Structure 1
Amino acid sequence: MNDTPGWASPGSAPSEGQEPGASGPAEPAGRPNPEQPAEQPERAPQEPGVKWSKEQPQAGQWSAPTVRPGPTDPAPPPGQGWGAPPPGGHGGPGGSGGRGAWGGGWGGPPPAAKPGVIPLRPLGVGEILDGAVSTMRTHWRTVLGISLAVAVLTEIVVVLLQGLVLDNSSTEALNDPSATLGELTDAMGDALLNSGVVFLITLVGTVAATALLTTVTSRAVLGKSVTIGEAWRDARPQIVKLFGLICLLLLITAGIVTVGALPGFLVTLAAGSEVGVGLTVLGLVGAGVLALWLMIRFSLASPTLMLEKQGIVKAMSRSAKLVRGSWWRVFGIQLLATIIANVVASIIVIPFTFLAATLSGDGVSGFLNTAGGDIGWTFLIVSGIGSVIGAMITFPITAGVTVLLYIDQRIRREALDLELARAAGIQDHGTGATPGS
C-alpha cells in the first residue's frame, strides 16, 4: 500500500507503486459527483486508532481498481495543478489549512549568530557604522578611557609647544602686501614647521589610539570585554611597527605629490609662463588621484598589522589583497565614516573655538581678523578642551570602522566568520545567512 501524500514537491521521485507523472494515488471508479453527493452508508463503529478494515486480502492479491472515464467523473477545475493547494489548505476541507503552496511555509535562512557588536556574516554599510558606535557604547569605559587619555596627553603637548616654543609672529607677513620675498619665505617656513610639529604629535597620538582601539574592537566582535591594561599589553609589541607603517604611507604620499608637481614647477621656474602653472596643477591632480588610490588600497594594513601580527610590508600586501575588487566600496565607507566623525567633532570644536576667542580678550571679530601673532593661553586652553572632546568621538569611530571593514572583507573572502564563531564558542555556525550589501 502507498501512503505518500498526493502533493509531492516538483522534481521529487515518484513514490513506490505510483506511476511517474501521476499527482496522487488513483481513485476508485464510480466515485459520486461532488455536486450530487450520494447517500453515505452508516459506518460501523471502529476501535480508536483503527483506520483500516481488519479483513484485508492476502499479499500480492490486491490490485488498484481501474479508472474508467465517464460522464460522472468531473474535470479538475482550472488552475488546480500541483502548485496550488486544495481548498482549505494542504489538508483539504478538513485539513489544517492556513498555509499557502508547498513553498510558502519556508521562512528563509536562519539569522546569523551575533556574539558581539556585529553578526557573523558579510556586513552592510549601516552594520559597520552601527558596530563602531555599538563598540563605543557597550565598552564605553575602555573606549572612552583610551580616547580620553590619548587626546589629553596629545593636546597638553601641543598646547605647551604652541604657547612656549613655536613662534607664530612671523606668519603675519603672509597677509602683508608690502612684505619682501625673504619675509614671505621665512613666514612660510615657520608656518610649515609649526604645522609639521603639531601634525607629528597628533600622528603619534593617533597611532597609539588606533593600536589600542583595534584590540578593543576585535574583542567586542566576539562579545568579550577588555581592560585598558590588557589592550596595552596586546598592542604594545606592534606599536613601533604601526608607527613605521603610517610614516611609510605618508612618505609614499609625499613622494607621489612631489613627483607629480616637479615637472610643472621646473617649467615655471625656467619659462615663467602659464603653461608651467597649468602643468603643475595637472600634475598635482594626477598625483592626488594616484595617492588616494594607494591610500585606500593600503587602508586595511593597520588592522592587519595589529591583529595578524604581521610586518609592515606583509601588512601592506595583505591589505592590497583584501581591498582588490572592492576599492570603491572601501573608499565609500571610509569616506562616509570620516565625514560623520568630522561633522560631529566640528559641532563640538567650533563652539569651543568661538568661546575661546571671546574669553581671550580680542573677541570673535578680532579672532577672525587676525591671521597670526601671539595666541594667548586662554585661547589655547579653551580650544584645547574642545579638541579633546572631539578626539574622544573621532578616534573610536574611525578606528572601529577600519577594523570592522577588515573583518568584513575577510569574512567575504576567507570565511573568517567560521573562525570567529569557533572563537566565540558558537556551535554549528553556517554561512546560510543573508549577506549584507
Structure 2
Amino acid sequence: MIPLRPLGVGEILEASVATLRRHWRTVLAVTVPVAVVTQIALVIVQRYLSVAQPVLHPDATPSEQLEAASAYLRASFAELAPSMLVSIAASVFVSALLTVVVSRAILGRPVTFSEAWQEASPRLPKLLLLSLALPLAAGLFSFVAMLPGLLLGDGGGAALAFLGGLAAFVVVIWLLIRFSLASPALMLERQGLLQSLKRSAKLVDGSWWRVFGITVLAQLLIGIFTMLLTIPFTAIAFALDGIEAGTGTAVSWTYLVVMAVGGVLSSALTYPIAAGVTVLLYVDQRIRREALDLELAKAAGLPGYSSTES
C-alpha cells in the first residue's frame, strides 16, 4: 500500500485514504458501530444534561458574576464529562483495531474484524490508560502553571495566569507531539506504557516539526472534510426544527437525530484516516531511522528478499 522508502506528506495522506477504500468492509465494521454508540451517547447528554448559559442582571456585582460563572462551569463539566469519556473509549477501541488493519494493509494483507479484534483486544486496557493519562497530565500541568495567578487574583493575577497558561500550552503541544507515536508503538511492538512513551520520544526526536506539521495538516483536512459532510445535515436540522441557543429549552429530538446521523457519517469516514496517519507516521519514522522498509519487504515476501519475517 506504500512505497518501501521514506514517505512524503502526500503519500501518508493518500495511504490513509487508501486503507478505507481497499478495506472498507473491515474498516466500516469497526467505525460505524462505534460512531453510532458515540452519537447516541452525545444525543442523550445534549437532550438531558444541556446547560443554558446564565443571563445576569446588568447591575450584577463582580461576586455575583463570578459565582454564576463558577456554577456554569461546574454544570458544563458535568455535561461534558460523560460525552468525553464515551469519546475517549470510542477513540481507543477504533484506534486499536484500525492500527492492526493499517499495519496489515501496509503488507498487502487483508484482515477481518474478528482477526483485528483478536490481535488488538489484549492491548486495549493499556491503550485506554495511555489515552487517559496524556490529557489528564496535560490538564494537571496547565492548572499548576496557572495556579499562582489564580491564587493572586486581581488584574496582576489574571495576567500571570494568562502567561502561565500560554507557557503551559506551548509545553503541552510539544509533549503531545513528542508522545504522539506511543499508541502504535504500544499496539505493534507490544510495549508497556512507559516504554511506549520512550519509544515515541525516540522516534520523534529530531523530527518534531515534521511530525507536528503532518499531524496539524491531517487534522485540518479532516476538520474541513467533517464540516463539508455535516453542513447539509445542519441545514436540514434547522429547517425541520430550528433552535435558539441559550434559551434554556431542551433541544428537540428531531434536531438531535438529524445531527447525529451526520455525526455517524463523518465519524465513520474520518476515524480511519486519523488512525492511518498516526500509524503511517510511526512506520515512516521507523523506515527513516531503523530501515524498517527492509523488514517490511521480507514480511511481504517481495522478490529479492528473504521470506523470513523479522
* TM-score normalised over the length of structure 2: 0.92
User: Mind listing any 5+ residue stretches in structure 1 that lack a counterpart?
Assistant: 1-116, 431-437
- Residue 196 (structure 2) pairs with residue 315 (structure 1): yes
Give me the whole-angstrom Cα distance separating, in 2, the residues matched to 1:262 and 1:373: 36
- Residue 253 (structure 2) pairs with residue 377 (structure 1): yes
- Residue 30 (structure 2) pairs with residue 134 (structure 1): no
Q: Name the residue aligned to 1:228.
A: 113
Task: Give yes or no for contact 2:45–2:79 (8 Å, CA) kept in 1.
Answer: no
Q: 2:292 is aligned with what amino acid?
A: L
Superposed counterparts of 1:253-272, under 5 Å: 253-268=138-153, 272=154
Greater fraction of residues in helix? 2
Superposed counterparts of 1:77-88, under 5 Å: none
C-alpha distance after superposition, 1:201-249 (max 9, x if no partner):
1111111111111000000000001111111111000011101001110
Give me the whole-angstrom Cα distance separating, in 2, the residues matched to 1:371 and 1:283: 35
- Secondary structure of 2:134's counterpart equals helix
- Secondary structure of 2:108's counterpart equals coil
Q: Name the residue aligned to 2:274.
A: 398
Superposed counterparts of 1:102-181, under 5 Å: 117-164=1-48, 166-168=49-51, 171-173=52-54, 175-177=55-57, 180-181=64-65
- Residue 239 (structure 2) pairs with residue 358 (structure 1): yes
Q: 1:373 is aligned with what amino acid?
A: T
Count of residue correspondences = 301
- Residue 98 (structure 2) pairs with residue 213 (structure 1): yes
- Residue 163 (structure 2) pairs with residue 282 (structure 1): yes
Select 2:176's aligned residue among 282, 295, 309: 295
Q: 2:147 is aligned with what amino acid?
A: L
- Residue 203 (structure 2) pairs with residue 325 (structure 1): no
Identity over aligned residues, as a percent? Answer: 47
Q: Name the residue aligned to 1:386.
A: 262
Task: Give yes or no for contact 2:102–2:276 (8 Å, CA) kept in 1.
Answer: yes
Q: Name the residue aligned to 1:414.
A: 290
- Residue 223 (structure 2) pairs with residue 342 (structure 1): yes
How much does 1:333 deviate?
0.4
Give me the whole-angstrom Cα distance separating, in 2, the residues matched to 1:292 and 1:388: 29
Superposed counterparts of 1:48-127, under 5 Å: 117-127=1-11
CA RMSD across the alignment: 1.7
User: Mind listing any 5+ residue stretches in structure 2 that lack a counterpart?
Assistant: none
How much does 1:394 deviate?
1.6
Task: Give yes or no for contact 1:172–1:373 (8 Å, CA) kept in 2.
Answer: no
Of 250-259 and 350-359, deviating more is 350-359
Highest CA radius of gyration, 1 or 2? Answer: 1
Task: Give yes or no for contact 1:341–1:393 (8 Å, CA) kept in 2.
Answer: no
How much does 1:142 deviate?
1.1
Task: Give yes or no for contact 1:154–1:201 (8 Å, CA) kept in 2.
Answer: yes
How much does 1:371 deviate?
5.8
Seen in structure 2, the aligned counterparts of structure 1 residues 333 and 371 have a Cα distance that, compared at 3 Å, is: farther
How much does 1:186 deviate?
2.2
Give me the whole-angstrom Cα distance separating, in 2, the residues matched to 1:326 and 1:172: 43
How much does 1:372 deviate?
4.3
* TM-score normalised over the length of structure 1: 0.66
Seen in structure 2, the aligned counterparts of structure 1 residues 349 and 176 have a Cα distance that, compared at 3 Å, is: farther
How much does 1:167 deviate?
4.5
- Residue 81 (structure 2) pairs with residue 200 (structure 1): no
Seen in structure 2, the aligned counterparts of structure 1 residues 371 and 305 have a Cα distance that, compared at 3 Å, is: farther
Give me the whole-angstrom Cα distance separating, in 2, the residues matched to 1:416 and 1:409: 9
Give me the whole-angstrom Cα distance separating, in 2, the residues matched to 1:138 and 1:328: 31
Give me the whole-angstrom Cα distance separating, in 1, the residues matched to 2:167 and 2:25: 44
- Secondary structure of 2:121's counterpart equals helix
Task: Give yes or no for contact 1:297–1:323 (8 Å, CA) kept in 2.
Answer: yes
C-alpha distance after superposition, 1:62-109 (max 9, x if no partner):
xxxxxxxxxxxxxxxxxxxxxxxxxxxxxxxxxxxxxxxxxxxxxxxx
Choose between structure 1 and 2 for higher RCO, CA contacts under 8 A separated by at least 6 residues: 2
How much does 1:144 deviate?
2.0
C-alpha distance after superposition, 1:246-290 (max 9, x if no partner):
11101110112111111111121xxx1x22211111111100000
Seen in structure 2, the aligned counterparts of structure 1 residues 346 and 371 have a Cα distance that, compared at 3 Å, is: farther
Task: Give yes or no for contact 1:302–1:315 (8 Å, CA) kept in 2.
Answer: yes
Q: 1:279 is aligned with what amino acid?
A: L
How much does 1:176 deviate?
3.4
Give me the whole-angstrom Cα distance separating, in 2, the residues matched to 1:291 and 1:372: 35
- Residue 118 (structure 2) pairs with residue 237 (structure 1): no
Seen in structure 2, the aligned counterparts of structure 1 residues 304 and 357 have a Cα distance that, compared at 3 Å, is: same
C-alpha distance after superposition, 1:157-180 (max 9, x if no partner):
22234334x253xx231x434574
